[in-house]
Amino acid sequence: MGRSRFESRSGVGIIQALQCVGRDYGASSIVCVCNATYCDSLEPINEERISGGNYLNYVSSKSGLRLEPNTGTLSNEVDDATAVVFTVDRNTTYQEILGFGGSLTDSTAFNIRNLSEDVSENLLKTYFGEGGAQYLYLRIPMGASDFSLHFYSYDDVENDVALDHFDLIDMDYDYKIPIVKQASELRGEVIKLFTTPWTSPAWMKDSNDYMSGSLLKTYYQPWANYFIKYFDAYARENVSFWGLAPQNEPTVYRNNIPVMGWSAAQERDWVANYLGPTLVEAGYGGLKIMALDDNRNNLPDWVDVVLSDEAAAEYVSGIAVHWYQDTRTNDSVLEQTHEMHPDKFLFYTEACNLVRVKTSDFGDWEIGEKYATSMMQAFNNWVSGWTDWNLAVNEDGGPATFGNKPDIFGYNAAIIVNSTGDEFYKQPPYYFQAHYSMFVPPGSVHIQLNNHNDGGLLHVAFLTPEETVVVILFNE
């Protein structure tokens, strides 16, 4: 196997508690197998165990290392003129980090609850527990997405403008809400939820169809009221939200999944005149509204239009970005967007490898490398947060629904659930993201990392609230 490595270097007091139990499916690397009694993890240690001048180094590699800890000694001297040298500059600071997370789709919730209680507990610990990735954010689709067991809205009664028939479904009450509460318990603080719809009820659209069309203007206010109904319903279950995006991928007008197209001007006007005022009136004015929620090839033009209206700009707190055009769009658009709108945070809200899942791909290291590249680009260009797509899919990458009918094939994810074997597999993308989420807590600040001959290493550095320096390096 190759020598590709992903490293986190820090003074954070964590060491490895349980080693990865690797399994090789014939891909370029391995998965780590977890069950009811065992799952690899890290555990806190006393800071005093790290003597002055030393650092902790955590390595994940194509050859099979997963957050493998060791120590080293910092030096101000260079023995070789060709040596790779990085110099931390704490005084040059950039954006504050909001945090990391993933998406609790219907499919993810179904897969988690399809495991035994002990295994599902270990899976959630893997993401939210102290020895796990320590995620803080969860993105929850408002209604059906492509990763649902079927297409639906919360009010499919034709012409119910008053939304008298609005109600959550069993997937919310029996799956997602209990998982959110369990995740908060494991995290030790309330998980920060944000939501976005894939579509309105079909009867509100000009197509009368989940998979195409746009919202009819006559329903602009009922659609804003729909959001309030949703937040109220969750609030009655003692679950609150941190934020929202008005629409998932608004540039898509037709697909074989739930969609609803908006122009930037339409989103601007709806936020300024309907959604924003309605949220404030209902007591939800503190929610963080994120514009766009689409790929970065739409930057900065989309948000320029949305934020051109003073009222819309007042309601919008951030800009949500997806990663699917990252390889085709220069990362400079992120910095350009920040420079034009410095008071709005940038947050990556969806990342997924859009390749149909095959067992022979389990453990594919190259998928993890895509995360490494995108995350380095993002955090070196003013991005403050990152959420992955599905937290967990089954061995077929689902369950997923395309064309309003079940599809046995879905897409890859950081964790694969094998409900028959009552176990789950942590894939390379889990560890690539954990190199950030485990060591860069909310409130950290991106700082300057200077280099002399970087050796081709992608690099980024942070300063935590505890004044710990975290350096993340990726060697392809």
Q: Looking at the annotation, which residues are catalytic? A: 249, 350
Cα gap 273→266, rounded to integer Å:
11
Which residues does 28 contact at the CB level (< 8 Å), separation at least 6? 1, 2, 62, 363, 364, 365, 366
- Integer distance in angstroms from the first to the last C-alpha of the chain? 13
Identity of residue 361: D
| HSE toward the beta carbon, residue 289, CA cutoff 13 A | 28
Angle at CA of residue 72, ends 69 and 77, nearest 5°: 155
- In angstroms, the CA 379 to CA 383 distance is 5
Instruction: Give the separation between CA 305 and CA 269, rounded to whole angstroms.
Output: 10
Backbone φ and ψ for 429, nearest 5 degrees, come out as -60, -30
Bridging pattern class, strands 192-196 and 469-475:
unpaired
**Are the beta carbons of 1 and 62 closer than 8 angstroms?**
yes
CB count within 10 Å of CB 203 equals 16
Residues contacting 29, CB < 8 A, separation 6+: 1, 62, 63, 64, 363, 364, 365, 368, 428
The CB density around residue 432, as the number of other CB atoms within 10 Å, is: 24
Residues in the chain: 476
Structure tokens at 267: 């989103």
Which residues, including other chains, have CB under 8 Å from residue 30's CB and lie 6 or more apart? 20, 22, 23, 24, 64, 363
Establish whether the linkage from the previous residue to 141 is cis, with ω within 30° of 0.
Answer: no
Report yes or no: 440 and 462 within 8 Å, Cβ to Cβ. yes
Q: Please choose, from the candidates 63, 72, 65, 70, the residue with its C-alpha nearest in 3D space to the C-alpha of residue 14.
A: 70
At a CB cut-off of 8 Å and minimum separation 6, what does 197 contact?
141, 142, 143, 247, 248, 260
Peptide bond into 300 cis (omega under 30): yes
> What letters, b where the CB count within 10 A reaches 16 and e where it falls short, cover 381-417?
bbbbbbbbbbbbbbbbbbbbbeeeeebeebbbbbbbb
